[in-house]
Structure 1
Amino acid sequence: MNRLVIMTVGKTHSGKTTFAKALEKEMPYSAVIDQDNHAEFLHTYYQTLLPKQGHNTIKYALTQTIVNHAVNETNCHLILCNSNRNRKSRLKLLEQFQNKGFTSILVNFELPEHVLKERVEKSRRSTAILRTASTFDEVLTRQQDETNKDEIVAPIEGEADHLFIIKNVDEIQSVIQGIVNIAHMREMS
């Protein structure tokens, strides 16, 4: 089976998790790997192990272990549901998958800022996954500030085998269908 790795890119509350779950339902033999789940697990059961400052190395190690298992022990297409906004890190991760024969797909969420702000204000999501902020509004503000930095850039053509951009929620189903079609074409080849 020619496998796909689908990587979501976007700010908090842009719809990455909702999209990933919907894609998983439509695409057989796929698995969502969502770092928010890992963060919540660690916060619930291993809070004393979480770093007080700097990178959340334990979360990244847990995610990497799960990814390695999925790559080496399953035949699943992988849907990596993270922000993936740092271009250097994104390219490094994509290269690892491409070297293992995966077809890479980036799905970039470019919803307007006012939509994200409204979603954050109405959100009922648990803040248990947050480590360096106390609210999602703080996260969004930080992400808006980071957008001006060189390493935080939107994906461009050529970074992955396929690039989809979602600018409004009406485009989600057609992007899901496009990815499902790519999976079917890969299965046939």
Structure 2
Amino acid sequence: MKKRLVIITVGKTHSGKTTFAKELEKKLANGVVIDQDNHAQFIQTHYQSLVPNQGANTLKHAVSRLIVDYAKEHSECDFIICNSNLSRTDREYLLNELFDRQKFVRILVHFDLPVEVLNERVASTKRSTNIFRDDSISFEQLLQSQREEVPVEGEAEYLFTINNCEEVNRVMEEILAVANERVEVDSYENH
């Protein structure tokens, strides 16, 4: 049985995580994007009365966990976890509790774009803030409040960093090479 991939994005709002994840999903033969913004939007639209007023959004996390557990058990998909994942504790939970190294090749993709670029993107965004519990919060406020614990070598088997848009294709190609190496090893072992 071959290990599946889990690609976990790390980065502040508007750093390109979602665009990257969707593009990688198209290129990765059996990839699926798990994006908590989609889960938050669904809950905000259909279950607003269940959203907690403060503290952790446990409903959103439960929906995400259910989808991940279902996909792990009922598919052979490779995962693209498209969240900010700025906290080392949150990444450790994903890496140690959900995607252990015995069954997954774990890859972190750190979006480390200059703050000036993020400020420009946030200022001109057309994205809806309906993913937020408090509709008075803006992406500018979110960006200013985000604190990042930078990923380090050894957190996962692979760590790729994107410092500018030109590096996106290179990182995608390196991830696809990891996927292909995994297939070649499995093919060789089965003969």
TM-score between both structures, scaled by the size of structure 1: 0.93
**CA deviation string 1:29-74 (max 9, x = no partner):** 0100000000000000000100001110000000000000111110
DSSP 3-state at the match of 1:98: coil
Following the alignment from structure 1 to structure 2, what is the Cα–Cα distance between the partners of residues 100 and 57?
Answer: 28
Question: Residue in 1 aligned with 2:188?
Answer: none
1:138 deviates by 0.8
Would you say 1:102 and 2:104 are equivalent positions? Answer: yes
For this pair of structures, how many residues does the alignment match? 182
Aligned alpha-carbon RMSD (Å): 1.0
Question: Residue in 2 aligned with 1:127?
Answer: 129
1:99 deviates by 4.7
Segments of 5+ residues of structure 1 without an aligned counterpart are none
**CA deviation string 1:79-119 (max 9, x = no partner):** 00000011012112111312551000000000000100000
One-letter amino acid of the counterpart of residue 106, structure 1: L
Contact residue 2 and residue 187 of structure 1 kept, 8 A: no
Following the alignment from structure 2 to structure 1, what is the Cα–Cα distance between the partners of residues 171 and 101?
Answer: 25
Question: Residue in 1 aligned with 2:178?
Answer: 182
One-letter amino acid of the counterpart of residue 127, structure 2: R
Following the alignment from structure 1 to structure 2, what is the Cα–Cα distance between the partners of residues 103 and 157?
Answer: 15
Residue 171 (structure 1) aligned to one of 163, 167, 187: 167
1:8 deviates by 0.1
TM-score between both structures, scaled by the size of structure 2: 0.93
Following the alignment from structure 1 to structure 2, what is the Cα–Cα distance between the partners of residues 28 and 91?
Answer: 27
Question: Residue in 2 aligned with 1:6?
Answer: 7
DSSP 3-state at the match of 1:180: helix
Following the alignment from structure 1 to structure 2, what is the Cα–Cα distance between the partners of residues 158 and 99?
Answer: 12
Would you say 1:64 and 2:60 are equivalent positions? Answer: no
Residue 156 (structure 1) aligned to one of 152, 158, 172: 152
Sequence identity (%): 49
Mapping for residues 10-159 of structure 1, pairs under 5 Å:
10-96=11-97, 97-132=99-134, 134-143=137-146, 147=147, 152-159=148-155
